[in-house]
Structure 1
Amino acid sequence: MAPRPRSPRGSGEQLADEIIAATTDLLMELGSGDAVSIRAVAQRVGVTPPSIYLHFQDKDALLDAVCAHYYERFDDVMMAAGEGIDYLWERAVAQGIAYVRFAIENEVVFRTTFARVTEAGEPTLTDEVLLSSAFGHIRETIEEGMATGLIAPGDPVPVVMQVWSVAHGVACLMVTKPGLPWGDDLSTAEGVMRAVCTGLSQVPVNWEHSGSDVR
């Protein structure tokens, strides 16, 4: 390993970004967080292992930072999924499908993100990002449904967790068991999302309302 030149004062944030970038590359190359080591990251960046620990407490914290950085783009994905869809239930399905598609297209990060157990009251960086993206956008949809009478009024959080859990369950199965007969598209995921939305609705759901293909 070629020694890294001494960093100028105030460059700690830049080094942290380089560490995250190097870890991301290794994670994608190796396909598993278990296969990534602090020593390998240090070699990739050109620093000593203790330099990594100046910025990240341990490997879990480093992988959490990588996943959080990766999921920051998910907010735009969720916004784009519901954009231009006026019918609330079609929008909810589109958001669920966006969640599933993102998981499939970024399966290494998805598996790494949810391999770590989070204790109550101790959210990780990735938890906080997901709460502001996946949870936040689904909550907006559920609150609109309650305001318009499509969903029974009350605390939106349990309803959001139901919808999120369904989308996550489908995503997890499709990522970890791709050999199951899912078909060539996301029609199974769409059917599951439509089923949960139909169950939540206080009025009959018209799935032909928008005529859109959310897949």
Structure 2
Amino acid sequence: MPRRPRPDTPSGSAPEGRELTRRRVIEAAADLLAREGRDAVTTRAVAAAAGVQPPAIYRHFDDMDGLLEAVAEHGYAAFVEAKRAVPTPDDPVENLRAGWDLAVEFGLANPALYAIMYGEPRRGTDSAAFRAGMEILLGRIRDLAAAGRLRVDESLAAAIIHATARGAVLTWLSLPEDRRDPALLTTMRESMITAVTTEQPVVQDPGPAGAARALRAVLPQQSALSGAEQQLLGEWLDRLAARG
């Protein structure tokens, strides 16, 4: 049952009241999206669900696209909270698997919200919640690198992980239910693992000393650096290796 319209600014300070109203509108839109789909998120329906007059929405958002941007940010925040609530496996590869599975499960459980978040390029990606989620992912990738298990550079790894998870969810949701084979998700996840990680650590000794020794061993074979650059880098690597 729609709420009775309330004043646009609740009791308390005006900024606090505006923020409460804004949050109420976002949560109402997100709830409508989850229950009834994208077409149900109209100005009139959101206003009724939030208990405000329709013009109040446009005092907080430039247009409906601005509201959907805020709903996407709301979704990223919910996803980050879900990430933080899950225990972290000690093994960095298993941690990556768990994070990928969590991202896919979130998308499958919230299809309409996920389509708003990821169906359009860069929607909501300037939000603090999105950046927090990216920092969690980059932390997982750095753990892989520190363990000597990262096959590609960190930025490419992040792109591959994002692309495979997003592609898995959107492909799954596009299929008729009788053609949704769980093997699709498993295969895409393991393809990501193969592309991003190595089976064995590329550096046997953990820590910077082991990495320095491994890089020092192949440095003479590199042609990308000048002689002076190789000499300087060699001195730095020798110093790191000696401190191991």
Q: TM-score range by the shorter chain?
A: 0.7 to 0.9
CA deviation profile, 1:121-174 (whole Å, cap 9, x unmatched) = xx63675523321x32221121121122112474x1121111111111111111
Moved more, 96-105 or 144-153: 144-153
Distance 2:138 2:8 in 1: 47
Structure 2 CA distance, aligned partners of 1:174 and 1:27? 19
Does 2:174 correspond to 1:176?
yes
Structure 1 pair 62–125 and aligned structure 2 pair: CA distance change class (3 A):
farther
Unaligned runs of 5+ residues in structure 2 are: 202-244
Aligned length: 195
1:20 & 1:84 partners in 2: Cα distance? 31
The CA RMSD measured in Å over matched residues stands at: 2.7
* Preserved CA contact (<8 Å) 1:97 1:190: no
> How far did residue 111 of structure 1 move?
1.3
Bigger helix fraction = 2
Q: TM-score, normalised by structure 2?
A: 0.69
Structure 1 runs (4+) greater than 4 angstroms displaced: 125-128
Letter in 1 for 2:150: I
Report the alpha carbon displacement of residue 51 of structure 1 after superposing the two structures with TM: 1.4
Kindly indicate whether the alpha-carbon contact (under 8 Å) linking 1:39 and 1:49 is maintained by their aligned counterparts in 2.
yes
Tell me the amino acid that sits aligned with residue 108 of structure 2. I
Residue by residue over 1:99-129, the C-alpha shift from the partner in whole angstroms, topping out at 9 and shown as x without a partner, is 11010111111112223343xxxx6367552
Task: Give unmatched runs, 5+ long, in structure 1.
Answer: 206-215
Please tell me whether residue 4 in structure 1 is matched to residue 3 in structure 2: no
Deviates more, 1:165-174 or 1:41-50: 41-50
Larger deviation, residues 196-205 vs 57-66: 196-205
Check the 8 A contact 2:107/2:114 in 1, yes or no. Answer: yes
Looking at structure 1, the residues matched to 37 and 20 of structure 2 have their Cα atoms a distance apart, in angstroms, of 25
Aligned residue among 186, 190, 212 for 1:190: 186
Following TM superposition, by how much is the alpha carbon of 1:187 offset from its aligned partner in structure 2, in angstroms? 4.7
Say if 1:149 and 1:166 are closer, same or farther in 2 by CA, change over 3 A: same
Aligned to 1:17: 23
* Corresponding letter in the other structure for 1:98: L
The answer to whether the 8 Å contact 2:8/2:18 transfers is: no
Matched residue SS, 1:73: helix
1:121-160 correspondence to structure 2 within 5 Å? 124=124, 128-133=128-133, 135-152=134-151, 154=153, 156-160=154-158
1:49-128 matches, within 5 Å, as 49-81=54-86, 83-118=87-122, 124=124, 128=128
8 Å Cα contact 2:152-2:196 kept in structure 1: no
The residue matched to 1:47 in structure 2 has which SS? coil
